[in-house]
Each structure stands twice: as C-alpha cells, then as structure tokens.
Amino acid sequence: MAKADKRVQIVEKDGEFYAEPGSIELDPGSPSNKTLKIVNRTGEDLTWVVTNTTLFGAVVAETVAARGISTLKTVAAAAPAGVYEYQIIMKSGKKAKGNSDPVIIIDT
C-alpha cells in the first residue's frame, strides 16, 4: 500500500466525529506533498465526498470501512490554488468536523 504525503484521521470523541487536522495543504507541483488518504479510526463506516472536480480530476465519493483507510488520492496537476471544502459523512448521518468543515488548501 502506497504511503500518502498527507493523512486526515477521523476520530470519535464523546459521540462527535472530528477530522484531524481540520485543514491540510497539498501542492500539485511538489514531488512529496500531493497525495492524501483518509484514515477512519472509528467503529463506524464513513463516506468522504469532494464535489469539486478540479481537485482530484473527478468527484470523490468513497466509502471507508470502520478502522479502514481510503484509496490514495493524488491532487490533479492542473488544480488551481484555492481552498476546497469536502465532507466526511458517517454511516449514522453525522458529519465529522474540523475547526469548521474540513478543507483542502492547494498552494502552487
């Protein structure tokens, strides 16, 4: 299994779900800062969703099993700099939170 440059850990605390860290920075031009995995540290399946197609070249809607790891995603070479929101939705319908909704920052 390929190692991601960045990982977002999904954890549960007191019945709430959190994305740690709440924001991550990726750089499509970097040889070592352009891949991402979601690591589900909870006992509940989740789906992570990125609706903006410019970030990874297509919409992401991937289910990650409880205590599982997502497939490796590589930021698209043409992804423009910006802040991209994504959602982590637990099987129960609850959303994982960061400091706010989690975001991916592209810095070129």
Q: Is 93 in contact with 43 (CB distance < 8 Å)?
A: no
Q: Is residue 58 part of a domain?
A: yes
Domain count within the chain? 1
**What pLDDT, on the 0 to 100 scale, is given for residue 105?**
82
Domain extent, residue 98, equals 6-106
Q: pTM of this prediction?
A: 0.89
Share above pLDDT 70 across residues of the chain, in percent, rounded to a whole number: 94
Q: Is residue 60 part of a domain?
A: yes
Mean pLDDT rounded to a whole number for the chain: 91
Q: Is residue 1 part of a domain?
A: no
pLDDT tens per residue across span 56-86: 999 999 999 999 999 999 999 999 999 999 9
**Tokens encoding 103:** 């975001």
Between CA 80 and CA 43 the distance in angstroms is: 35
CATH assignment at residue 39: 2.60.40.420
Q: Is residue 14 part of a domain?
A: yes
Q: What 8-state DSSP symbol labels residue 94?
A: P
Q: Is residue 23 part of a domain?
A: yes
Task: Name the residue with tokens 């990874």.
Answer: 56
**Tokens encoding 64:** 């990650």
